[in-house]
Amino acid sequence: MGDKNIRRHNVSFIETLCKSALSKSGIYGIDYSLNPYFGCEHSCIYCYVPRMLPSKLKGRAWGSFVEVKINIPKILARELRSLSSGRVLISSITDPYQPIEQQYQLTRKCIELLAKKNFEVVVLTKSTLFTRDLDIIDKERFELGVTVTTLNAYKELEPNSPPPLMRLQALKEASENGFKTFIFLGPLIPGIVDDEIQEILELAYNSNVKYVIIDKLNTKGDVTQAIAKALNRDQMEKLMKAMSNKSWINEIKEKIIRICNKLHIPYDFCF
């Protein structure tokens, strides 16, 4: 165990041992969360995790490291012996299908274990790698979702993530093969997502998703400043203008509702 000296996008990967696999969740409708990794190669500028768990960073920059919980399948197998059912989110503070998963396959091993038990499982990712595991995912008890935050500014805000259109194409493939799918539209970034809402929801409709979940931007800490620094001048001006509009969130919410109703897409807001 230790630093394997693997580096990608200036990211270091450190093998660690975890004491637990399933964490009780405070997310509505979710009993447990499971995070095979801590840290994320995708390096999304707006991520709430480093602002929520600053002590776990230990002075490291978010996006510069990934802790790989190499024993999590073994711990999960042990925990499942005493649990009969529940609803599990994979995952809540990392991306379960970030590139390092191709090597370690921890998410796949955990899915194999959960699929053998009477658990409902929700998988959420910005990756297309989940298609690798369609052979072991239970169509009745699993739901697959991809996050789409922006179509046009993803290179600035999600620098190491697969393009959104690739994510949506992968989700469409899963939908067409009988899997339950959804889009996580969020976080809603003022001034950035405004002109993209229609197209994103139409793409969701064309991907045959069962529903859309929408969440707003968590502005804790320096997130707004970090986003602004990553944008070009025109994008930054749009962000600041929208941020100064106190009614923006209600206006964008109403717009989403109108479009979803027109497209007959079920939706749910996290705020």
- Domains of the chain (ranges; CATH) run 11-269 (3.80.30.30)
Residues of the chain above pLDDT 90, percent: 94
Paired strand residues for 123: 90, 144
CB 243 within 8 A of CB 224: yes
DSSP E strands, the chain? 3-8, 11-16, 22-24, 32-34, 37-38, 65-69, 85-90, 118-125, 142-148, 180-188, 211-216, 267-269
Q: Return d(Cα 44, Cα 105) in angstroms, integer.
A: 22
Phi, psi for 9 (deg, rounded to 5): 55, 35
Identify the DSSP state of 140.
T
CB 122 within 8 A of CB 143: yes
Provide the whole-model pTM.
0.95
Burial 233-270 (b: 16+ CB within 10 A, else e): eebbebbeebbeeeebeeebeeebeebbeeeebebeee
Q: What is the pLDDT of residue 9?
A: 60
Mean pLDDT value across residues 109-118: 96
- 5 has a pLDDT exceeding 60: no
Q: Is the bond into 187 cis (omega within 30 degrees of 0)? A: yes
Q: What is the pLDDT of residue 7?
A: 57
What is the enclosing helix (H) or strand (E) of 239?
Answer: helix 233-243
Average confidence score pLDDT of the chain: 95
How far CA 100 is from CA of 49, 62, 216, in Å, comes to: 19, 16, 28
Mean pLDDT value across residues 149-158: 97
CB 126 within 8 A of CB 99: no
Q: For residue 79, how many other CB atoms are within 10 A of its CB?
A: 15
Convert the pLDDT of each residue in 224-267 to its tens digit.
999 999 999 999 999 999 999 999 999 999 999 999 999 999 99
Q: What is the pLDDT of residue 6?
A: 57
Q: What is the pLDDT of residue 214?
A: 98
